[in-house]
Amino acid sequence: MVQIRRLQEEGADIIAIIGEIDASSSIELDLTIAKSVGEGFHKILVDCTALEYISSAGLGVFMSYIEEFKDKHIHMVLFGLKEKVANTFSILGLADLLHIRSTKPEAKQLLNELSV
């Protein structure tokens, strides 16, 4: 139902979510982010270009890391959200709490600015 791939570019960990994240699959997103943090990455990009659906279980995973990331000076930027997915973030007001950009270059630029 969901595939999550990781690759590293210029010191950033890129997490690509392919498919749908709901209450049955959100654990995979959680484990992937935890692994990235555990490996010591301070720059995380989340590629949402192939994310077709996200429910509150997946949004809750992103939210649950907000404080930990602040404490550990880890920065995460999401990019490539489809309109229907972006709408879910907007309904909850999460678009203001998370860093979200349209394209990968914009996301990388913000990540570099945040990491200075």
Partner 1 sequence: MSYQFSIGCSLSNLKGIREFVRTSLRAHHVPEVEMSAVVLALDEMCSNLMIHAHHCNPDHQLGLRIDVPAENTLIFEIIDEGSQFDINAFATPELGNLIHEKRKGGLGIRLVKAIMDNVEYLQRDGKNVCRLTKTIHAS
Which of 31, 83, 75, 96 is CA-nearest to residue 54?
A: 83
User: Does residue 76 interact with partner 1 by CB under 8 A?
Assistant: no
CA distance linking residue 69 with residue 45, whole number of Å: 13
User: Does residue 106 interact with partner 1 by CB under 8 A?
Assistant: no
> Please, which residue, 75 or 108, has the CB nearer to partner 1?
75
The torsion region of residue 47 among left (phi > 0), alpha (psi -120 to 50) and beta comes to beta
User: Does residue 18 interact with partner 1 by CB under 8 A?
Assistant: no
Contact in structure between 43 and 13 (CB atoms under 8 Å): yes
User: Does residue 31 interact with partner 1 by CB under 8 A?
Assistant: no
Residues that bind partner 1 (CB under 8 A): 1, 20, 22-24, 26, 30, 53, 55-57, 59-61, 63-64, 66-68, 83-84, 87-88, 91-94, 97
